[in-house]
Amino acid sequence: MVKQSKLAKIALFLIIVMLFSTTASATMNVAVITDPTGKDPNGCAAGSQSFAANMFQSTFIFSQEHKMALLSGGEGSSNVRVAAIISALTQLQNNGTPEQVVNVANGFDGIRLMAVNPTQGIAVGGSFDVYVVTVDNNSTINVQAASGGLATVPPGTKGAMIHLRNSHGNPKSGTAETVRLQTAINMGKMIRDGYPATKIVSEAIGEVAADSGEDHGGGAINLVSGVTTGDMFTPEQLNQTGYEMEKPYSKVSSSGWAVGYPEAENYQVSPVDGSPLTVIYAYQALGNAITVSDDNPSVSTYGSDEKGISEATSSVVIASVTKNGYDPVKIAQSINKAIDSGTLIGVEYVDASDINVKENIKAVGVYYTPATNGRSAPTWNLPIDSQVFDVLGNIQSVIGILLILLAIFRSTLIKSFFRRR
């Protein structure tokens, strides 16, 4: 029942996005495994981006339980893609391997699914143009092209996979094939040279953004540690594009003070200690956000026992600190945005007083209040009394019952009508 409930919530979200927007199709998917044992906290990562609008986090779905990321895209219609994703999620919930999960895409016209698990490898199915990269124990790099059907990086193998096509309207159309190959080669070299998967994914996203024009977030995920970029780079509104991943994202000082763009344009040195500021580009910020290191804060949550709230809060806080430093106001704003987007559920909005920041030890505490009456989100602040909606709901229920009765007894009513004539 719990699995069915999770699947139903994801399906409902995808359908809502489909109804109210031109749903995005990620034109770049990338997955990397540098430690196939699953022990390195930065040894497996994946991400998506596109020139198109609506690159929300739903373009890659992460299962904390199965340590698997599912990335989607393709040329098919949005409703077909939603159906394919739901079918794939069903396979995932039934403990399917990456190959089994993505193989469902071959039953849907024009759809692509890519899945990755640290110990089970990488697989892509459906409509795709990829390069499959493997690096053996002798540091020999193999880069192989594959198109359509099914392609894999086998379990127990260091490797990567990149899909890239140009979106309609992209001014750099025609560059995908060249950039796809060059990025694959560079990923192979970085795997050989010992870079972590999180770093390789961020560099690949930066290269693709700059050279192919498929540059709007999107985002990425660290599968071993369960850290994502959340809404760092996704559009703020429906039918808008996300952040351009090759563009400046923030400025930081050596002491940890940070400010995001466009406000960062007003600062050349830190207002705290006068130290110079370094420009951090969006793809670099992505890598910093998903890489587990001593630089990321320790995040603790209190007041809520919702499953997944701790992991989701950690991702949001790390993303906020990466961009804006240890500012409780900015952290609260980021958390509230995540509540609005459905990333955080079952809690009320927070304000700066609910955020306990200890910058000297890089720790952040978030104090939640559970949402009232078992709700999954805070009560909407509407200009219409909520009782009006209760009345409308009751009216709608009555109308529904009447329609059902009419459907059941329509033949009897029709016969009665003609007898009276």
Q: Specify the amino acid at residue 125.
A: G
DSSP states along 147-203 = EEEEEEE-TT-EEEEEEE-PPTT-TTTT-HHHHHHHHHHHHHHHHHTT--HHHHHHH
Q: Name, in order, each residue with C-beta under 8 angstroms of 349's C-beta and a sequence gap of 6 or more.
A: 336, 339, 378
Q: Which residues pair with 135 in a beta bridge?
A: 141, 158
Average pLDDT, the chain: 83
Instruction: Report how far apart, in Å, the C-alpha atoms of 54 and of each of 59, 74, 242 are.
Output: 9, 14, 7
Higher pLDDT pick, 196 / 60: 196
Question: pLDDT band for position 377 (50/70/90)?
Answer: confident
Neighbours of 63 (CB within 10 A): 18
Q: Which of 144-148, 343-347, 375-379, 417-421 has the lowest mean pLDDT?
A: 417-421
**pLDDT (mean) for 312-326:** 85
Which pLDDT belongs to residue 421?
Answer: 54
**Predicted confidence (pLDDT) at residue 295 exceeds the cutoff of 50:** yes
- Residue 280, Cβ density class (10 Å: 0-12 exposed, 13-18 middle, ≥19 buried): buried
Are the C-beta atoms of 113 and 83 separated by less than 8 Å? no
Question: pLDDT band for position 193 (50/70/90)?
Answer: very high
pTM strictly above 0.75: no
pLDDT digits (tens, 9 = 90+) for 90-112: 998 899 999 999 999 999 999 99
Q: Which of 115-129, 160-174, 358-372 has the lowest mean pLDDT?
A: 358-372
Q: Which of 33-42, 186-195, 388-397 has the lowest mean pLDDT?
A: 388-397
Asked, as a colleague might, if the bond just before 262 is cis with ω within 30 of 0, I would say: yes
pLDDT digits (tens, 9 = 90+) for 203-257: 999 999 999 999 998 889 999 988 888 778 888 777 788 899 999 998 888 766 7
Asked, as a colleague might, if the bond just before 213 is cis with ω within 30 of 0, I would say: no
**Predicted confidence (pLDDT) at residue 21 exceeds the cutoff of 50:** no
The residue among 100, 103, 138 whose CA lies nearest residue 120 is: 100
Domain extents in the chain: 2-228, 248-374, 386-420
Helices 282-290 & 309-324, crossing angle to 10 degrees?
A: 140
Which pLDDT belongs to residue 154?
Answer: 98
Q: What pairing do the DSSP bridges indicate for beta strands 363-367 and 355-358?
A: antiparallel
**Predicted confidence (pLDDT) at residue 115 exceeds the cutoff of 70:** yes
Which pLDDT belongs to residue 314?
Answer: 81
The residue among 129, 202, 188 whose CA lies nearest residue 158 is: 188
> Token match 């880069």: residue?
143
Are the C-beta atoms of 367 and 354 separated by less than 8 Å? yes
Q: Which numeric CATH code is attached to 2-228?
A: 3.60.40
The residue among 164, 167, 169 whose CA lies nearest residue 204 is: 164
DSSP states along 314-347 = HHHHHHHHHHH-S-HHHHHHHHHHHHHHTSS-SB
Q: Which residues pair with 149 in a beta bridge?
A: 126
The residue among 52, 62, 60, 48 whose CA lies nearest residue 23 is: 52
pLDDT digits (tens, 9 = 90+) for 46-69: 999 998 876 655 556 877 778 899
pLDDT digits (tens, 9 = 90+) for 363-374: 788 999 998 887
